[in-house]
Structures are given as structure tokens and as C-alpha cells.
Amino acid sequence: MIYLDNNATTKVDDRIVAAMQPYFNIHYGNPNSLHTMGQTARKAMATALNQLYAGINARDNDDIIVNSCATEGNNHVLMGIYYDLIRTGKKKKIITSSVEHPAVSHTLKFLESLGAEVSYLPVNTEGLINIADLQHELTNDTALVTIMWANNETGLIFPVTELCAITHKAGALFHTDAVQAIGKVPVDVQASNIDFLTFSAHKFHGPKGIGGLYIKEGLKLTPLLHGGEQMGGKRAGTINVPYMVGMGLAMELAVAGLTDEDSRVRSLRDQLEEAITAIPDTIIIGKNYPRTPNTSLVSFKGIEGEAMLWDLNKNDLAASTGSACSSEDLQANATFQAMSMDTDLAHTGIRFSLSRFTTQDEITAAIKIVKDCVQRLRAISTYTKL
């Protein structure tokens, strides 16, 4: 199988599997236990935390709360802001983009049902927001702006440093969902001055079921999970030490591999796009804007995305019609709807996402598979050349 669905999830690096292994069945102590087994696990956790701090350039006094996934991290920030600033009447509003992952957008819908006011910034047909719209929406009663670092469907990179500065000027806090940015573009919490940032190990060759929430020094959030004193009382629940070891190393390797991602992976992605644009009536969404180097969202006129996906799959190529989390739903996904794509375009989107394990041979083979597939499906559809 040629795997070009790395924005959905990634292969766990063999080095990471090996590093995690002993913490399942040899050093399996609870890191809160005082005996040697517990302390060995605790040391491994400390090393992993250091790797996470270094990976995003966090300060010593910043917090990184290790949790179960980015969905949890996003819920923690949004619910925490609701409990601390909105429910208490200090502020009223949260501002977001209309192309956030459901881990943000569905949580905000829930908060709206509890009385929070949420403003959704529109995007243009390429998926970009207008900075003037943010400036217009920011008022004294804005608690938080939450805008993703990079979009999971298009790979478009949002100017988070600039957005954060504008947000701070208005006295509000800034959160970014950096799930699709880590390991693809440099993420530096000090340079960007971001207040809250979420990430998830399985998007950068670590295991599924573990993620992190960065909180800038001096800021506090009501916990999402109450219980034991793990994570300094900020996130209860026994810590998954093997996965944390895996996430720490995954972060280190992801950051070390950034140059490769930007040159080798980008050039493979560009090769794929160049070959695809040679096929008549294809569009690459966001091609002329800053994008993550591994992602390509393509529309092949006249070919239903689902049909294409299954034909590619039959030919051993794994891609996606949209976010893996929503692809069971045959409706055009919310991101495409927000981008005001016409219905035809919205149903023809195929996302190819590469990783550091993608090879030249795979891209060469993928190009042939895609070309054959388009020819086959257009021959049996109502497609007429533009």
C-alpha cells in the first residue's frame, strides 16, 4: 500500500516503538510510586517532558499538560476559558475560523448551547481568513481567539504570530490547534507568543492516544479531568508512560527532521502536483499560498471523491476525501462548505498527505495510479471536458 494519508494518522517510527517497549513490561511502575520501578518510570517521563519543551521552545515556567489526544487538549482550553472567563461573567465571546477541526468547532457549538457567544470568521475560496475581519470582531468582551496553525484538509498555514499579536492588543488570549503543524513547520511558542497550543503524537509518527496542551507561564485553566494529583493536579489520571516516552522521542525526531520535510517531502509533493495538474480540469486548492509541505488537496472535475478514493484503494493507494474523522459522512465536509466551494467541487476533493517515510518510488507509482484512475472514472461518468 502506498500510504498518502498522513494527515489522518502516521506510521509509528520503529525507533519510537523500540523506545516505548520496555515501559510496557519491564519498567511498568506507576510514576507516582516511590519505589525504584516507579522512579524509573518518573525519570522517563521527565526526559519526555524535556523533549516536548525543547520541541516547541517552551520556557521552564510554561506548562505542558500531557493528555490523551488533541481533542482533549482543545476541549480543555475551550471549556477552561468558558468556566474561568465566560461563566463567571468576566468576558463573553470566543472568536474562531470557520475551518477548524471538529475538535474545536463542535466543542464551541456545545459552549454556545451553554450561553457562550462564538464568532466564526469566514474564509475565502482558498480557505484563508481576512485579518481585518478578526480586528473587526475583537471587542473588550472577547475572552479567546482560537485559530488553527495549519489546516488539516488544505495544509494552509495561518499567520498565527500576527493573529496572536492582534488578539493580545485587544486584551484577549490566543489558542492554536497545532496538530497539523508539528513536524511540518517550525513551531516556537516564544517567538509566536501564543498562550495555549495543542498537539497530538499520532500526527508526527508517535502513538495514538496521547497528546499535549501547552500553557504559557502565568496562565491557568480549570482542569477538564478532576481526580488525582497527576500533572500537578492539572490533569488527573495515571499517566501513560510508554506513550509519553513515545511522544517525547517523536517530538525530538519530528523537529530534527524539519529540514527534510521542507525540502525532500515538499519536492515529492510538488512532483505529484505537477503531474496532477497536467491532467485536464484539475484544481489544487491553496496552491499559491503558504502550505504545509506534505499536503495537497486536489479536485478532479467530474469525479466523486468517494468513487476516486475506492478506486485508488483498489490500486493500493491510500488517500482521503477529507478529514478522516468525518469521512463516514457523505456530506461535503464543513471546511469545503466554509470555503463556499460549489457543490461539484466540494464533492470531488481528494487529499494526498505525505510523510518522512514517503519515497520517490512511491510518488512515481502514485502518479501513474492517479492518472489511470482519473481516466477510468471519467470514462464512466457524465464528465465533459471544459
CB of 366 to ligand PLP, least distance (A): 22
CB of 88 to ligand PLP, least distance (A): 27
Q: What distance lies between CA 243 and its chain's CA centroid?
A: 18
Nearest of 346, 319, 349 to residue 332 by alpha carbon: 346
Q: Which 280-309 residues touch ligand PLP, going by CB under 6 A? A: none
Per-residue binding string, ligand PLP, 17-36, x by CB under 6 A, is: --------------------
Q: Does 355 bind ligand PLP (CB under 6 A)?
A: no
- Interface pick for ligand PLP out of 51, 295, 323, 333 (rule CB under 6 A): 323
290 in Cβ contact with 127 (< 8 Å): no
Looking from the CA of 138 toward its CB, the CA atoms found within 13 Å total: 20
Q: What distance lies between CA 52 and its chain's CA centroid?
A: 16
Question: Which residues are known to be catalytic?
Answer: 325
**Distance in angstroms (rounded) separating the CA atoms of residues 363 and 361:** 5
Looking from the CA of 108 toward its CB, the CA atoms found within 13 Å total: 22
Q: Does 70 bind ligand PLP (CB under 6 A)?
A: yes
DSSP 143-210: EEEE--SB-TTT-BBP-HHHHHHHHHHTT-EEEEE-TTTTTTS---HHHHT-SEEEEEGGGTTS-SS-
Closer residue to ligand PLP (CB): 187 or 374: 187
Number of residues lying near ligand PLP (CB under 6 A): 14
Q: Does 103 bind ligand PLP (CB under 6 A)?
A: yes
Beta strand 282-284 with 196-200: parallel, antiparallel or unpaired? unpaired
CB of 358 to ligand PLP, least distance (A): 18
**Distance in angstroms (rounded) separating the CA atoms of residues 62 and 11:** 30
- Interface pick for ligand PLP out of 118, 325, 345, 369 (rule CB under 6 A): 325
CB count in 10 Å sphere of residue 213 = 27
Q: Does 101 bind ligand PLP (CB under 6 A)?
A: yes
The letter for the amino acid at 255 is: V
CB of 211 to ligand PLP, least distance (A): 5
Q: Which range, of 15-23, 172-180, 278-286, 332-340, touches ligand PLP by CB under 6 A?
A: 172-180
Q: Does 71 bind ligand PLP (CB under 6 A)?
A: yes
CB count in 10 Å sphere of residue 30 = 15
- Interface pick for ligand PLP out of 64, 144, 172, 179 (rule CB under 6 A): 179
- Interface pick for ligand PLP out of 13, 62, 177, 311 (rule CB under 6 A): 177
Closer residue to ligand PLP (CB): 69 or 339: 69
Question: Where does this chain bind ligand PLP (CB under 6 A)?
Answer: 69-71, 101, 103, 148, 152, 177, 179-180, 200, 211, 323, 325
